[in-house]
Amino acid sequence: MLEKIAIIGGGSWGTAIGQVFASNGHEVLIYVRDKELKENINKLSINTKYFPEIKLSDKIRATDSLEEAVLFGKIIVLAVPTYVNRQILASIKNIIKKDQVIVSTAKGMEEGTFLRNSQIIKEYTDTPLVVLSGPSHAEEVMRELPTTVVAAGEDRKAAQLIQQLMSSSKFRVYTNPDIIGVEIAGAIKNVIAIAAGISDGLGYGDNTKAALITRGLYEMSKIGISMGGELLTFAGLSGMGDLVVTCTSKYSRNRNLGVKIGEGLTLNEALEEIKQTVEGVRTTKAFYEWYHKTDHDYEIPITSQIYKVLFEKKTPLQAVDDLMLRDPKEEIKVVEK
C-alpha cells in the first residue's frame, strides 16, 4: 500500500524520515521555509544544508507552502522542535482531516505548560496520532545503516500503519501503546546526554559515562512512571536504546553541546558553534521547573545539576563533585519477604 507523506520540517531528521518513506515507494512532500533549499531539493534532489553529498529519492520533492504539504499527505510528519509545534499546529488546525495520521517526532517538554508533544497536538486536533522515537541518528539513517525505532500510539491501527509504511530491511519499526513513557524517555535522554558530553569535555572516562547512563536511566524511569509511563518502556528502544546512542554518538547535538561546555564554553557560545536546535537545553529547564512546582517522593540529581550548569553558571567540575558527594544511597530497595 503506497501513501502520500507530508514532512513538516526539512531539517536532518525530517529529511531522513522522508528518505525512509520514499525508499519504500511512497510519495513525499517536504515543507521547508527556505526557498533556496526548496529549489535545491526539487532541482538537484539534494538537501544542500544537511546532506550535501547524499542524493535524495526521486519520490521526494519540497514546497514552501505549509497548506500544500498538509493537503498533500495522508500521513503528516511533524519534524520540528517542541517549541515550534504550537505555531505549526495553529496554522494547520483548520485544514487537517480526520482520516489523516499525524506522526510526532520532537523530543521535549513544553516550557511553562509542561506538556508532552502529543498533549500539545491534541489541543488542536483529534486526528490519530503516533509518536516516533528511538535510537535513530539521521546521518546513519541517510546512509541506510540498520536502524530500529518505536511507533507509539493509543490508536493501535495508526501505529501499525506507520510500522507498515516505514519498515524495510534497513529500518525496523516496533509498536508500543505507552505513548507517555516513549515521550518522556525521548525527552529526558537529551538531558542525560548533555551530562555525558560534559563528562567527555572534562576528560573523564568510560567509568563516568557508564555511571551517568545507568543512573540517568533510573532518573528517567522515575520521572516517566510518576507521569504515567510503563516501567518496561524505559528498558526499550525509546529508553535505554535512545539514551545510549545519544550519550555516546558523535552525531548527538546534546552530547556535543555538553562537550563544549565541559571544555569551558558558555551555553550561548556552545549553541553558536553547533548552529542547530539542541532540544535538551529547553527540556532541562522545563523538567527542572516542573519538578519544583509539583510534589515528588524521588530526586532528579542529574537534571538538577545540568540545570544549574546551563542556567545558573555553576561550573561543571563543581556539579560533578556535588553529584559524587551526595548522601549515601541504596542502589535499589529490596522489599522484605
Q: List the catalytic residues.
A: 189
What's the CA gap between 124 and 131, in Å, rounded?
16
Q: Is 2 helix (H, G, I), strand (E, B) or coil?
A: coil
Q: Is 217 helix (H, G, I), strand (E, B) or coil?
A: helix
CB atoms within 10 A of CB 35: 10
Q: Which residue has the cell 561543571?
A: 316
Check if the beta carbon of residue 209 is closer than 8 Å to that of residue 247: yes
Neighbour-count burial for 211-237, b at 16+ CB within 10 Å, e otherwise: ebbebbbebbbbbbbebebbeebbebb
Q: Identity (one letter) of the amino acid at 218? A: Y
Q: Is 75 helix (H, G, I), strand (E, B) or coil?
A: strand
Angle at 235 between CA 232 and CA 240, to 5 degrees: 150
Is the alpha carbon torsion for 182, 283, 78, 34 positive or negative? negative
Phi, psi of 106, rounded to the nearest 5 degrees:
-70, 150
What's the CA gap between 279 and 286, in Å, rounded?
11
Which string of DSSP letters, residue by residue, matches 148-196?
EEEEE-SSHHHHHHHHHHH--SSEEEEEES-HHHHHHHHHHHHHHHHHH
89: β partners:
none
Check if the beta carbon of residue 141 is closer than 8 Å to that of residue 147: yes
Q: Is 267 helix (H, G, I), strand (E, B) or coil?
A: helix
What's the CA gap between 244 and 235, in Å, rounded?
11
- 251 by Cβ neighbours in 10 Å (0-12 / 13-18 / 19+) ranks as middle
